[in-house]
Every structure is written in structure tokens, then in C-alpha cells.
Chains A and B, each alone.
Chain A
Amino acid sequence: MPETRMLYRRVDEPGLASIETYRRRGGYRSLTRTVKEIEPEELLTTLQDSGLRGRGGAGFSMGKKASFLPRGDTDKFLCCNADESEPGAFKDRELMQKNPHQLIEGVAIAAIAAGAGWAFIFIRGEYAEVADILEGAVAEAYGAGFLGADILGSGQRVELVVHRGAGAYICGEETALLDSLEGKRGNPRLKPPFPAIQGLYGGPTLINNVETLSNVPHIVANGADWFKGFGTEQSPGTKVVSVSGCVQRPGNYEIELGIPSRELIYGLAGGPPEGREVKAWFPGGSSAPVLTAAELDLPYSFEALADAGSMLGSGSIIVADDQVSIPALALRTARFYHHESCGKCTPCREGTNWTVKMLERVLSREATPMDLDIIASVQDNIIGHCLCVLGDSMAMPVSSMVKKFRPEFEEYIRRVASDSPGLGSDGAAGLHALTGTSSLAPASGPHA
């Protein structure tokens, strides 16, 4: 099954990142129409009707979220979450790097729909090169009158600032992002109040992911019904999926939501290297509960993956093949979230710390099967009990690994306990194979 390119259309055309090429290819027509012909209310209706769901992880209806912002004259804000830090996710990077104006146009339209005069793109600090490109594009957009106090002479105002993060995963959590943007320590806020009511600087704030906003110009150009023609009823549209890990062609693939997951992993990404089998896969970034080879035929959609006890999340598939040690994978995953836990709430701060210590004992010959019960129970004690979802992001995959691959953990403990040579290196090899392609996967993949 081929890709269905909407956001990635002409993505590899040289110069697409420049405003001339983007405009030659029809860019900024949606924004022009928006400021000249469409009332903000109509715009909101279109976005809601399209059924576009947030592409950052939670999958909440974008139009609905925009409609939560109070109407009227208060200062409102739009924040684009470009703090793409989830291991396995690298779709936003390519979207911004190769087609920044698509995002800027989406930001401007969404800001007008929400009545926000100020917009911010909060970009992951490590994406320095992409931020440079984005800043250049923003300057071009200002120069062409697509941003500023009076967009195309319409009287509509959208000011856009690119803000670079300082290197914390937690700042991708929307309220931590707001605190960080305000110059504070990037810790999540208690919700409610939700950002739509009280967000940046206390004002109503719409927060959306890069990919979500990049969809907006297309929806405005072609209409909600056209958009709903793609994907499934509950997951309309296309999705850019980052596929990494043990596959032959890692990279970003734009697909219609609802195609079989096997198509993505085997058809597009080429499956595991010759002679190996898929053992486990994260369907939605490293925070999603892992699925097994038996679940490869699940449709790749929000609803099907949720029904299977996992989630589509940001749409990042990480594949672990039969050479990967699941206990090592669990430790690698736990360490990431332990390292990134902000420390504000107890279950996440202490739970990630404790889980890492226990998994380290699993890998260093000091664990007993009872520890596996404790590990599982600790994950249960984290899930649903934290201030934000970071704790769950460790607990859900670790819990799923212990539950679905318990024999492997037990065998690991037994084999290590009998001091059999070789397993330690096995684990290390698995780790290396995985980490080599998870968070630092090539940005371009097959499109390069």
C-alpha cells in the first residue's frame, strides 16, 4: 500500500522551504482566503467538521479545543508545540525542516480562528538547525505580509515568535511548555484550569502540535468533507508515522489512517533485517504500551490501537526484533523517563527512580521473580496517579513489557543467576540496536 501524501506532498522538492517555491505551489492561498473571505466562526466550524485530531499524542479534536477558548477581546495566545522529544518521533522535525511555511500558514490560520493575536512556536532546543530554518521562514512570511499587525491589509493581527527550548522532555507537556515559555522552571501545571481557559500568562491559549497545524491549510483549501475522505470515521485524514528501530528502511511515512500496521512496518519500512522477526513494537512512541507480533494486523488508527490497549500517540513506531532483549528495552525506556521526570509529583519522581533501580537489578543478577511483581505493581501505582502523563509514559510500556514478556524476564533472571555467559552482551546488543535508531533516527528516511 503506497503512502498518501498531503503534508509531505512535494516534500523533497528543492527550495520548498523558501517562500517563493511554497507560494508557487499554492502556498498561503488558504491564509489569503482566510483573512479576506472567511469569518473566524466559519473557520472554527470547518475545523470542527473536519474531525482533525491532535497529532501530538492525546488525539483530541483540534477544532473542538479551539472552540473552548472564550470569545471576546481578552488577550489570547496560540502555542505550537514543536518540542518533539518522544523517543521514536521525528516527523515534526522533517515537516519544519522541509516545509516550514506550511506550518506557519497553519499557525496563522489557527490563530485567526481562535482569535489569538500572538503565536509562539516552542521548538525543541536540540533542533537548532531546524529552528534556524523556521526563523528564516518566519522572517520571509513577515516580509510578505502573511504575519504581523495587519496581515495582507486585512486588519487581522498575528505575531509569531520562534522560541527554542532548553532541553527538557517535560516541556513538551503543554502546561510545562507554557511555564517554560514564561521563563519559569518547566514543570507541568495542575489542570484544571485548562490552557484554553487560563494558559500562557493567564490568557486563553490554544496549543497544537506541528503536524496538527500543518493540516490546517489543506483543510481550509479543500474543505472538511474532502479531509474526511481520508482515513477512518474516527480518525480522519493522513498521519505522518515515524518508523524506527529494527526495520530496514526507517523514516517518516505519510499514510491514510486505518491501514494495517503490518503495511507500515513491513511494506513501507521494509520490516526487520533478513532472517529476523518482529518481537514487539511501540505503536505510538516509547510511551505507548508495546504490542506483539500477533498484533501486527491492527489497523493503524486512534481507535483500533486504543481498543488493543495501546495508543497511536504521536504516531511513532519503534520495532524491536527477536535480537532485542525486552528487559534491556524496559530499562532503556525507564531510564529515559526517569531522567526526564521533572520531580514535581511523587509517583512519577519516585516511581521512575525505583523502577530503574529494580530493572537495573534485573539486569545485574540481583533480582528475584518477586521483584517482577513489585515492578508490575509499582507501574500500576503510577498509572493514573500523576500530575501529568510523564509517569504513565514510563509505567505503561514497562508494565506492558513485564506483562507480555514475563517469561523472558524470568528466564533472564534465572540465566543471569546461573551466571551463564553471553546474556549480558545479548542485552547490551539489543539496547544498542534499539537506541541507535530510536531518538536519533535519520530525519529524512526514504525521502532523502
Chain B
Amino acid sequence: MPDPPRITLLVDGVEVEAPHGAMLVDAAKHGDVEIPVFCYEPKLGHPVGACRMCVVEIEGIPKLQTACSTPVRDGMVVYTQTERVKEAQSAVVEFLLVNHPLDCPVCDKGGECPLQDVAMGWGPGRSRSVDPKRHFQKPIPLSPLIKIDRERCILCYRCVRFSQEVAEDEQLQLLERGSSTFVGTFDNRPYIAPFHGNIIELCPVGALTSDAYRFRARPWDIEDAGTVCTLCPSQCNIKLTVRDERIERVLARDNVDVDDGWLCDKGRFGYQMAESGQRITEPLIRAGGELRPAGWAEALEAAAAGLREAGERTAAIVGGSSSNEDGYLAQRIVRKALGSPHVESRPSGGPGVESRRTGGRGPAGFLRQGLVELSAPRLAASVSDLDRAESILVLGTDPLHSMPILDLRIRKAVRLRGARLAVATDRPSVLDGGAEETARYAPGFVGGFVSALAAELGAAGYERARGELGADAERIAGALKPGSTVIVWAGPDARGLVGCARALRLEEDGAGLIEVPEGANGRGLREVGCLPVAGPGLSDVEQGLDASGIRDALEAGSLEAALLVNADPIRDFAGGPAWGEALGKAKLVLAVSMFEDASTRQADVVFPAESYAEKEGTVTHPDGRLQRLRPGTPHPGGVRPMWEVLAELGALLGEETGVESAPDALAAIASEVPFYAGISHEEIGGTGIRWQERAAARYWPRVDDVGARDEVPGREVEPAGRTAPEPGDTGGRAEDVDGVIRVGTYRDLWAAEVTDRSPALRFLAPRQALELAPRDAARLGLGSGHEVEVRSNGTSVRARVSIHERVKPGSGFLIEGLGDRAASLRGELVEISKAGEPE
């Protein structure tokens, strides 16, 4: 997008250059003039001009104007320091303080309070008000995480605007009116919404305070440490508030290309996991059945000995929170020191992964080809492209759960620009309400849907589908604008996307694909070689086993050692508890973990893992942006940097990496990943850099070099199920078999270790629920809250029934990541039986 032309205006007699159309408040900053504001916050959308703090004089306009809502034009003459302006601004401060308690000495905001700053800078210095101020009960919980002090509130509207116009949860309201106005919720219900913590940061006074941070520190006690949150693929930029080497708070570190300055509550309150007293802080070695603390030398030696013995019968599972450096070194140890090709980072697969039906042993060329095509720089959309695209397709994922910050970004595109949104998912999405078109396919049949969509878009080689599937695909296709569409997608079976991408001309500017990986650093790990089908830089390697293959091989004894780097497959991978049995059979399980969990219970050696707050390294955002993790707190106890530990382990196994620092580790990656060539910490800087925008992007592998093309584009790999559906009618499949429910699974935002390990978030931990359409619930004689057992092929899961209008009949949905076997039921036809009455 071209930058707006620059214009010149005169602010207090000084020529200021600014972009045309910028708001005067922002334009004035180019001339080092600060105009005070309260309600103005560009992140919240259009200015509202409510607080009146920013009034200034503009030549030619008789009344004072609000600088927050006045776009600048060439030749504009502005005065911000005249008596008239000073009096008006001073009057607004005086008005605001008429009802403000001025309890700064006991207020958490004191010292970092915009009201304090503006009152000192622009206020009259004394109040003429002697009348009683208004009183409220205070502080009271607005939510389990936020306290509200209504006496301090200056009614700037920011929190309410956030709730109504950014998160669109619409729970916060202004109640009553005039000077009796107060912020609250309908019927005093708690404000529970996944992004609600942002209002704490938006509040320009101490009216909204974090329960977890109240009275924990003063601004002069703390230091800010900028890093990146790796609790999900959003990779939001954050600032850790550190006091005495402890994290006390997490704030947004605005990066318009990543997070738009917002955080989800998981990122905001999940820091408590890093500060948990239950962390493993020393290496552990199993002796006599028990894990006991050991020194690093002993533990490294024990691990090396076990790995040496297993040799090529070793597999590595690298978890999504691992940095590029962790992943790179782990795969290098396994591939080079041990000679094993078995490295995996994807809990349930990804593009180009064969299903269990074919045993995950397809030709490596074919699998790599899918990756190379769909992740190619020319098809990549950046997060900011969502601000430009005329249409957006959300396919096979619900960003609220998989990459929360994109949920807000997509809402913004629809709300502020009228972008056309289409949603095609198996499970109803929270974005449905703003979508122009929605389509529901049967759980697991995204591949069939994408093929049908490719056909509707006119892609060569795809046949139009019949029936409901065809009609759905046609509607979705109709909502998409060729050359200006961003597709946000996730899923293992989306090869038809190549056809869609060509037909929609996604290689054009402001269009493209954003794949949401399962792990926070899923993309980075893939690019540094944590795949069974590709090495660093998607290079050609001997093909290894995928996750389920590794599990089966461990179970069968053909693999003997497992290296789990920041991964708990028992919780996070398909198969769940089956991993417990597999790991139990391994001769050596080496786990790198922050906590004792189901997987460390099977471990022989445990290395304590770093939290993201301690880590130094890099991660790669789903849109290709390399970002830096910077240590904000020291490592607790005996925890050491993982790159250092892995480099030492490699050396013990005879693989000298030469890595002696985090920059060394990145340099090693850059030397092996051609499209990262030459990248350094300095270049990545504080806001990151997309590798697609660097010259080295031309070293992305060429599709033609990656082996045979699939000659039958319409033929999709289907998920496991009792019946293999016919091509063309897969979308209607679930309904065809009366009385049968096909189960889909999703990873709920809160079904995560961080929820359990952070006291503030624990109340959000979900219970297993089976979501059903009303028709199916009625047919099965089930009501909301009934306990049921969901069974297939000997796997069973207990759940509570939850009935939803928008669930497609014939579908049912379970939550993954709760430690049960729900993920194993994905795509299965199940039997459901009642196991209890509603509580």
C-alpha cells in the first residue's frame, strides 16, 4: 500500500511535516508537540472526541477543535499553547478531578497514570471544587481477574469501546447517564471474555486494575523486559514487568504487524506459569523407579549414554514452544549424531501429512512438495494483509482458539473496512456472526470441501461437487474476491488449497495464505528441520516417521529412545494416553520439561526447561516473521539455556556444533536454512522481520525440485473413519448415516498447561463437553448437562452434553488437550451412551 502523501502544517509557529489525513494529535508529534488525550486511542478505531482534553485552536475555525478527530491538511495553522487553549484544557482537567478521589498514594496506577501526568502537565494545579465527590462501593470484582474502582473512573469510554468495538463481546456497558454514569455489565454479571485483560492497560486511571498485580509493585520498583509470548502461534509482542527478578505482570508491546497492541488473557496472565513454585529447576535422573535430582554433568552423561545406545532407533518430538535454536539443535543431534531420521514437531500433522490410514509412509517428495507450495513466499500473506484484503476466508480453524489475536484482526477488517468474511469449518466458529457466508462440513472433511471450493473457483483439475457440499462451496467462492483475499487456514488435508490459491490469484499484493500451525513456533520448527520429511530449510532428507508412526514404533519396540523437547505428547498429541504406553516401553525417555507431567512420569532423564521469559533465541511467526525471545528474568535454580544444553549433549555424542551462544545458534541455523541466510539478532531487532521480505527469500526451494507432483489433484487424503467416502459428496457424509455422530475435535483456547499452572487462569479450565446439534440430542434423548460416554474402536471419553443450534446435524465436537483420549476420536463415527443425569 503506498504511503499517504506528506503535507506541511504549522503547529505553534513551527513547520511540521506529517502524513496527509493523520489525526492532528499524531501529526503534532512529528513536531515534538504533545497534545494531551484521554479517550483517544487509535487502536480502538474511530475517535469519539468525548473527553475534550485535546481541544486546540485551528485558524479559520471559530470553535476549539478536538485534535484527536481532526485530520490534518496542507497549510493548516494550529495553536496548542494559546491562553484560550490552555484555559480549556485546564478546565477539562479540573472537571475530571471534580469526582476523582485523588487517592494516588494508594492507587496502583500511581506513577504510570495518564491522569496524573496530564493533571501535572496541563491542569490548574488546584481544584476549586469543595463539594462532596460521588461514591461507589469499591473496589469490587468486574471479573475474576479485574477489580473496578468506579470512583477513580473518568468515563473515557475506552474499556467500553474495547468490549463493544474491538473484542465485540459487548459485555461492558455504560449504565445510568450523566454524572451518574458508571461502567458495568448487564445484571452485574462477571465480565468473562478471552481478551478482557486489555481494558486494564487501556484504562488511563486506576479504575481497572489487575487482581494479580494489585499492590505488587510501584513503577519505580520495576523494569520492563521486551520479548515475545510463545503460548500460542500469535506470538504477540509483550513487555514483562519484572520486580526483583520475578515477573509480576505482562503488558502489550504494540507491534502493528503482529498483534495490533492487544493480548489475549492467556498471554497476559499466563506468566504465572513461569513463576510457579512447582517448576522443575534441577536435572532429574530416574533411579530405583523414582526421579531424583542430579547434577548437569551426570544428567547429560546419562542422557548421552542412553541415546548412544539407541542410536538410529531414537526419535525426537519437539514441542511448539521451542525456539528455532532448540529445534534446530535437537534435530541435528538426532539426525547427525544418532543417524535417525525420526524428528517431528506436529501433534496431529500438517499440510502434506499422510493419515494413519496409509500409515504415514508416503513418498517424502510428495509431502515436501505440499509444504513448499503452500508456504511459498509468493503465496504468503502477512498479518497486516488482513487490513487490506477485500475478502477473508477462515478455513478449518477458529482463530479464537488457535491463534486468538487473529480473531480481533479479522473482526477489525470486517467492522472498519467492511471486508467480506467467509467461514468454512466443521465446528461453528465465533466469527460466524460477522461472516457474509458460512459453510459447515462434516468433521474431518475439510479436504473434500477445499476440493469443491477449488472447483467452484474455477481451478483446473477439480470437479464441482454435488448437493449440499457443492452449494456450500459455491456460496463461499462467491464471497471471495480474486486478487484480494487472505485465507487463514489450518488442517492436515488442504492440498486443494493450491488450486484455490491459483484461482484466487493469491500471489498478488495484499492477498495470500496464513497457515495457523498447532504449535506456537510450528512454522519455525518446520523450517529449521523438525519434520520427518524435511531437514533444515525443507532440505531433502531420509524420511522418518511422523508422530503416530513414532508412537507405534516405540510401542512395537523398533524405536528405543525418545527425546521430548518441551513436548508432552500424552497431553498434546493425537493418541493421548496411548503415548503413555509407548513411552513406557522405551528404553530411554529424555524429557525437557518445565513441570512434572504425564510424559516426565515415563522419563528416565529430565532436563529442566526454560520458560519463554528466560529464553534467548528466535521464533518464526506463522506469517514468516522472525522474532527474538529475550531473557527477562534469570533462570531459576539449575535451569540452563536449552541451546547450551543441547550443544553440550551434541558434543557428548560426537556432534560438535561450535555453538557457544544464542547468536551462534542462530548463525548455525542461517547457514543451513538458505532462506534465512545471513539473518542475525540485530537484523531481527525489536519488531522482527519477515524472511519473505529479505533477499534470501529467493532461496526458497523450487516446487519442481521437490519430487513428483500428485497427478490427481481432486483426490484427497481422508481422515481415518470406518468408511471411506466417495469423492464429491463428502460434505454431506455425516448426515447420510442416520443415527451416527461423527466426532470432530478442537483445541480449546484454555485447554492448555498454562491454564492449569497459572492460578489466575485456573477457573477457565474447560471440562470435556460433547457439542451436539439439537436434532441429534433429541434423537439420542440427551439434554444439556447430561453425562455421556463417547466410544469408538475401544476408545472412550466421558463428556457433558452441550447443545448448540449451529452445530451441523450428524456432527459432534470434543475438546483436545484435556488429557483424555478425545483426540483419538477425531473423525470417527461414535456411539454415545448416557452415563449420568445433569448435575
Residues of B within 8 A of A357 (CB): 131-132
Residues of B within 8 A of A374 (CB): 128
Which residues of chain A from 363 to 399 have any CB-CB distance to chain B below 8 Å in the complex? Answer: 374, 381, 384-387
**Nearest B-chain residue to A361, judged by Cβ:** B131
CB of B178 within 8 Å of the partner chain = yes
CB of A342 within 8 Å of the partner chain = yes
**Distance from B131 Cβ to chain A, minimum over Cβ atoms (Å):** 4
Whether B177 contacts A342 by the Cβ 8 Å rule is yes
B87 contact from A338, A342, A352, A381, Cβ within 8 A: A381
Bound Cα distance from A185 to B183, whole angstroms? 14
A sample of 8 cross-chain residue pairs with beta-carbon separation below 8 angstroms, ordered by A number, consists of A170-B177, A344-B48, A345-B52, A346-B96, A347-B52, A353-B98, A354-B131, A387-B50
A190-B47, A385-B64 in contact; A350/B52 too (CB < 8 A)? Answer: no
B52 contact from A185, A352, A358, A387, Cβ within 8 A: A387
A346-B92, A384-B64 in contact; A168/B47 too (CB < 8 A)? Answer: no
Whether A385 contacts B47 by the Cβ 8 Å rule is no
CB of A351 within 8 Å of the partner chain = yes
A190-B69, A381-B88 in contact; A350/B99 too (CB < 8 A)? Answer: yes
**Nearest A-chain residue to B181, judged by Cβ:** A343
> Can you name 12 extra interface pairs (CB under 8 A) apart from A346-B95, A381-B87, A387-B52?
A170-B177, A190-B47, A338-B178, A341-B178, A341-B179, A343-B177, A344-B50, A346-B92, A346-B96, A347-B95, A353-B98, A384-B63
**Distance from B85 Cβ to chain A, minimum over Cβ atoms (Å):** 11
**Distance from B157 Cβ to chain A, minimum over Cβ atoms (Å):** 7
**Nearest A-chain residue to B84, judged by Cβ:** A384
Bound Cα distance from A345 to B174, whole angstroms? 13
B46, B95, B99, B155: which has the most chain A beta carbons within 10 Å? B95
Residues of B within 8 A of A349 (CB): 95, 155, 178-179, 181
Residues of B within 8 A of A447 (CB): none
> Could you say which interface size class chain B belongs to?
35 or more
**Distance from B414 Cβ to chain A, minimum over Cβ atoms (Å):** 14
**Nearest A-chain residue to B89, judged by Cβ:** A385
Whether A350 contacts B179 by the Cβ 8 Å rule is yes
CB of B278 within 8 Å of the partner chain = no
Name B's A-contacting residues (CB within 8 A).
46-53, 55, 63-64, 66, 69, 87-88, 91-92, 94-96, 98-99, 128-129, 131-132, 154-155, 157, 173-174, 176-181
Residues of A within 8 A of B94 (CB): 381
Whether A346 contacts B88 by the Cβ 8 Å rule is no
Bound Cα distance from A385 to B57, whole angstroms? 12
Bound Cα distance from A168 to B177, whole angstroms? 10
Whether B179 contacts A190 by the Cβ 8 Å rule is no
CB of A339 within 8 Å of the partner chain = yes
Bound Cα distance from A351 to B157, whole angstroms? 18
Whether A353 contacts B92 by the Cβ 8 Å rule is no
**Nearest B-chain residue to A370, judged by Cβ:** B128
Residues of B within 8 A of A263 (CB): none
Whether B99 contacts A353 by the Cβ 8 Å rule is yes
Whether A339 contacts B131 by the Cβ 8 Å rule is no
CB of A340 within 8 Å of the partner chain = yes
**Distance from A270 Cβ to chain B, minimum over Cβ atoms (Å):** 37
Whether A353 contacts B178 by the Cβ 8 Å rule is yes
Residues of B within 8 A of A341 (CB): 177-179
Residues of B within 8 A of A387 (CB): 49-50, 52
Could you count the A-B residue pairs with CB atoms below 8 Å apart for me: how many are there? 90
Whether A381 contacts B91 by the Cβ 8 Å rule is yes
Bound Cα distance from A205 to B346, whole angstroms? 55
Whether A353 contacts B179 by the Cβ 8 Å rule is yes
Whether B98 contacts A354 by the Cβ 8 Å rule is yes
Whether A346 contacts B53 by the Cβ 8 Å rule is yes
Residues of A within 8 A of B173 (CB): 185
**Distance from B314 Cβ to chain A, minimum over Cβ atoms (Å):** 62
Whether A343 contacts B178 by the Cβ 8 Å rule is yes
A352 contact from B55, B128, B178, Cβ within 8 A: B178
**Distance from A19 Cβ to chain B, minimum over Cβ atoms (Å):** 39
A345 contact from B46, B51, B176, Cβ within 8 A: B51
Bound Cα distance from A234 to B767, whole angstroms? 73
Name A's B-contacting residues (CB within 8 A).
168, 170, 185, 190, 338-347, 349-354, 357-358, 361, 374, 381, 384-387
Whether A385 contacts B52 by the Cβ 8 Å rule is yes
**Nearest A-chain residue to B88, judged by Cβ:** A385
Whether A345 contacts B64 by the Cβ 8 Å rule is no
Whether B48 contacts A190 by the Cβ 8 Å rule is yes
Residues of A within 8 A of B99 (CB): 350, 353
Residues of B within 8 A of A170 (CB): 177
B69, B87, B132, B177: which has the most chain A beta carbons within 10 Å? B177
A349-B155, A381-B88, A385-B88 in contact; A354/B129 too (CB < 8 A)? Answer: yes
Residues of A within 8 A of B177 (CB): 168, 170, 341-343
Residues of A within 8 A of B66 (CB): 190
**Distance from A402 Cβ to chain B, minimum over Cβ atoms (Å):** 15
Whether B96 contacts A350 by the Cβ 8 Å rule is yes
A339, A350, A384: which has the most chain B beta carbons within 10 Å? A350
Residues of A within 8 A of B157 (CB): 344
Whether A351 contacts B69 by the Cβ 8 Å rule is no
**Nearest B-chain residue to A339, judged by Cβ:** B178
Bound Cα distance from A387 to B131, whole angstroms? 25
Whether B174 contacts A185 by the Cβ 8 Å rule is yes
Residues of B within 8 A of A354 (CB): 95, 98, 129, 131
Residues of A within 8 A of B178 (CB): 338-343, 349, 352-353
A385 contact from B55, B96, B179, Cβ within 8 A: B55
A341-B177, A387-B50, A387-B52 in contact; A347/B129 too (CB < 8 A)? Answer: no
Bound Cα distance from A68 to B458, whole angstroms? 45
Residues of B within 8 A of A342 (CB): 177-178
Residues of B within 8 A of A338 (CB): 178-179
Whether A351 contacts B95 by the Cβ 8 Å rule is yes
**Distance from B70 Cβ to chain A, minimum over Cβ atoms (Å):** 9
**Distance from B450 Cβ to chain A, minimum over Cβ atoms (Å):** 35
**Distance from A331 Cβ to chain B, minimum over Cβ atoms (Å):** 14
**Distance from A149 Cβ to chain B, minimum over Cβ atoms (Å):** 27
Bound Cα distance from A381 to B92, whole angstroms? 8
**Distance from A401 Cβ to chain B, minimum over Cβ atoms (Å):** 20
**Nearest B-chain residue to A342, judged by Cβ:** B177
Residues of B within 8 A of A340 (CB): 178
Bound Cα distance from A351 to B95, whole angstroms? 7
A347 contact from B92, B154, B176, B181, Cβ within 8 A: B92
Bound Cα distance from A190 to B50, whole angstroms? 8
Bound Cα distance from A339 to B51, whole angstroms? 19
**Nearest B-chain residue to A341, judged by Cβ:** B178
**Nearest B-chain residue to A351, judged by Cβ:** B95
Whether B48 contacts A358 by the Cβ 8 Å rule is no
A190, A346, A374: which has the most chain B beta carbons within 10 Å? A346
**Distance from B706 Cβ to chain A, minimum over Cβ atoms (Å):** 50
**Distance from B382 Cβ to chain A, minimum over Cβ atoms (Å):** 29
Residues of A within 8 A of B53 (CB): 346
Residues of B within 8 A of A168 (CB): 177
**Distance from A123 Cβ to chain B, minimum over Cβ atoms (Å):** 20
**Nearest A-chain residue to B96, judged by Cβ:** A346
**Distance from A195 Cβ to chain B, minimum over Cβ atoms (Å):** 16
**Distance from B350 Cβ to chain A, minimum over Cβ atoms (Å):** 42
Bound Cα distance from A374 to B95, whole angstroms? 12
**Nearest A-chain residue to B48, judged by Cβ:** A190
Bound Cα distance from A386 to B52, whole angstroms? 7
